[in-house]
Amino acid sequence: MRADGTVPGRISRVEGTVRIVGAGLLGASIGHALMRAGVDVALADTSRSQLRLAVDYGAGRAAAPGDAPALVVVCVPPDVVADVVEAELRAHPDAVVTDVASVKLQPLRELRERGVDLTRYIGSHPMAGRERGGAISARSDIFVGRPWVICRDGETSARDLALVESLALDLGAVPIEMTPEEHDRSVALVSHVPQVVASLLAARFVPAAAESLELAGQGVRDTTRIAHSAPELWVQILDANAAPVVEVLDALAADLAELSQALRRTDAPGSRRAIAEAIRRGNVGVERLPGKHGQRRHFVSFVVMIDDTAGQLGRLFGDLGELGVNVEDFRLEHSPGAPLGLAEIAVERSILETCVEGLEARGWRIASTDDD
C-alpha cells in the first residue's frame, strides 16, 4: 500500500454503491476507506447528528431513497443487528448484506427464528477497533493487516462471498473464514475475556492509595491498557456472547481459586509446584499468540538510552535509516520524573550485530541486547 492509501497496481474490487448503516466508529471508518478507494458510499444512521458528522468527516454521502446498493454493511450496535439486517434484506432485494458485529451467532439465531431468508446475508467481523467510539474517532487505517472474519454458510453463493471478501481486501484486511460458533468462542478467549480481566483488575485500583499506584510500572500499565474501553459497547458485546465468555471466565475463576488456595498454604505439599506451574503455563500460552508478521521469534531487541529532548528520536531513526535497518518493533519507555527514556527496538536477528555496532559507532549508548 502506498502513502496515499491506495494499493499499487490494483483498483478497488467493490463495484457499485456501498450502503453503510450506522455511522459510528466502524461504519465511518469503512466509509472513509471506501471513499479513498473511489467507491460511492451511502451512509445511513438513526441519529441525524451522527450522520451529519460522518458526512462532514468525509465518510460518504447521506443515503438517498433511490439508492440501489450492491452491498449493505450493517455497522450498528450488537443488540439491533438482527433488526437492521432483516430490514436491509427486505429494502434492498438485490444487495448482499453483511454486518460487522463482534458477535456472530446471536444475530444469526435471531434472524433464523424469525424465518428470514438469509441467502443474501453473510455475517462478518473485522478484528479492529479503538478504545474510543463514534464517527469522530473514525480512521480509514484501522483494518490494515487485521483479520476480517467472514461467516459463510451452505447457502452463500461464491459471487456474494467474493463481494464481502473484496470489502475486506479493499480496506487492507485479511479475510478469514470461520463458522459463527468458532468465531464467537475465539473472540471470547482472545478479546472478550481479556477485556473483562483488564477491567476488573483496573477496577481494583479505584479504592487504592495514590502512593501504592506510584509503584506501578510498564507491566501493569500494559495489563490494564484496554480497561479504557467504553462500557456502553462492552455491555452489549458481553451480553451477546455471554455463554462462551462465561465458559472461559469459569475456567479462569477455577484457576484463580486453585492458585489462591496454593498461596494460602504455601507449606503444603505441591503448593509451590502449583504456583510455578501456573506461571509456566502462562509462558507457554503467551508464546502461542501471533506477534508482528506472525513470526516474533525471528526478532531480537535492544535498548538505546535517549534524552527527553526534541530531535533525539529523529537522530536515532536517522542513524538506523543510514544503517539500512528496518525497525520491526519499537517501544518507548519513560517513567514518571525520568530525565530520559529507553527506546526498545526490535530488528531481525541477522542484522542485530551490525545495528548495535553501527549505533555505538555513532555515539549511542546501547544496553545489553536480548540476544539469548
Restricted to residues 239-278, the positions that interact with its own copies (CB under 8 A) are 239, 242, 245-246, 248-253, 255-257, 259-260, 263-264, 266, 272, 275-278
Cα distance between the two ends of the chain: 35
| 303 makes contact with its own copies (CB under 8 A) | yes
Q: How far is the CB of 334 from its own copies (least distance, A)?
A: 4
Residue pair 238/245 in contact (Cβ under 8 Å)? The answer is yes
Nearest in space to 292 (alpha carbons), one of 345, 252, 362, 219: 345
From 66, 115, 159, 372, residue interacting with its own copies (rule: CB under 8 A): 372
Site for its own copies in 34-93 (CB under 8 A): 57
Q: How far is the CB of 216 from its own copies (least distance, A)?
A: 4
Residue pair 32/73 in contact (Cβ under 8 Å)? The answer is no
From 281, 350, 354, 360, residue interacting with its own copies (rule: CB under 8 A): 281
Contacts of 27 (CB under 8 A, 6+ apart): 20, 21, 43, 45, 54, 59, 73, 75, 100, 135, 138
From 11, 68, 190, 268, residue interacting with its own copies (rule: CB under 8 A): 190
Phi, then psi, of 348 in degrees rounded to 5: -65, 140
From 53, 74, 76, 198, residue interacting with its own copies (rule: CB under 8 A): 198
| 191 makes contact with its own copies (CB under 8 A) | yes
| 361 makes contact with its own copies (CB under 8 A) | no
- With CB under 8 A, what is the number of residues at the site for its own copies? 154
Site for its own copies in 204-223 (CB under 8 A): 204-206, 208-217, 219-223
State which residue, 68 or 332, has the beta carbon closest to its own copies. Answer: 332
Other beta carbons within 10 Å of 129: 20
Which residue in the block uniquely carries the three cell numbers 440501489? 68
Nearest in space to 153 (alpha carbons), one of 191, 110, 104: 104
